[in-house]
């Protein structure tokens, strides 16, 4: 089942749950970046964000693009400025080789988001820049916690598996 984005995750055959889950998880990334833009990083938090550099809406310095690999990874930690979020993208100024450069990344181009300080990570699969993205896997950077990979439609995932047992 596919979704043409005209109907908020539903179509005549039923709900597109993959799209709805993906959209919800991307909202986690949006909210975290929005909070960070308003208050700064909290505690030891820092973010590794990987995105598809071939997406036509991505704006990055040309030296970040690699002809062999379309994925670009940035780190938001010590040297970042002017972080802004909108409904469909985020913008930030980062230091590359001592020079400040502006980048703009649409949320649809993000392939992974990780906050290693708390062992949190999301990974998204980009099928086509013009189509919806599908949830590929949820991963934990803590080796003692299970990772769920290759989710298929209809699987139920309990978030309790990923919570610390105290």
| pLDDT per position as a tens digit, 1-45 | 444 555 565 556 788 888 888 888 999 999 999 999 999 999 889
pTM of this structure: 0.68
pLDDT surpassing 90 at residue 107: yes
pLDDT tens column, 149-161: 443 434 444 455 5
CB neighbours (10 Å) of residue 33? 22
Length of the chain: 166
Percent of the chain exceeding pLDDT 70 equals 65
Distance CA 148, CA 139 (A): 6
**Encoding tokens for residue 150?**
């290759």
What pLDDT digit, counting tens, does each position of 36-60 carry? 999 999 988 999 999 988 888 999 8
Mean pLDDT, the chain, integer: 76
Average pLDDT of the residues in 95-107: 90
Strand partners for 121 = 114, 139
Q: Angle 145-151-156 (CA atoms, 0-180°, nearest 5)?
A: 80
Cα dist. 34→25, 27, 159 in Å?
14, 10, 24
**Mean pLDDT across 106-132:** 79
């Amino acid at each position: 089942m596919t979704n043409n984005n005209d109907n908020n995750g539903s179509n005549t055959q039923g709900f597109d749950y993959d799209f709805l889950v993906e959209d919800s998880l991307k909202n986690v990334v949006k909210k975290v970046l929005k909070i960070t833009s308003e208050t700064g990083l909290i505690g030891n938090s820092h973010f590794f964000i990987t995105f598809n550099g071939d997406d036509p809406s991505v704006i990055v310095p040309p030296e970040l693009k690699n002809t062999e690999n379309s994925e670009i990874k940035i780190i938001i930690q010590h040297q970042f400025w002017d972080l802004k979020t909108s409904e469909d993208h985020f913008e930030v100024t980062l230091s590359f080789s001592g020079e400040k450069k502006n980048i703009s990344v649409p949320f649809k181009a993000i392939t992974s988001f990780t906050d290693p300080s708390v062992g949190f990570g999301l990974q998204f699969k980009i099928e086509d820049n013009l189509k919806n993205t599908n949830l590929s896997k949820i991963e934990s950077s803590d080796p003692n916690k299970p990772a769920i990979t290759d989710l298929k439609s209809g699987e139920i995932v309990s978030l309790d598996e990923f919570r610390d047992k105290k």
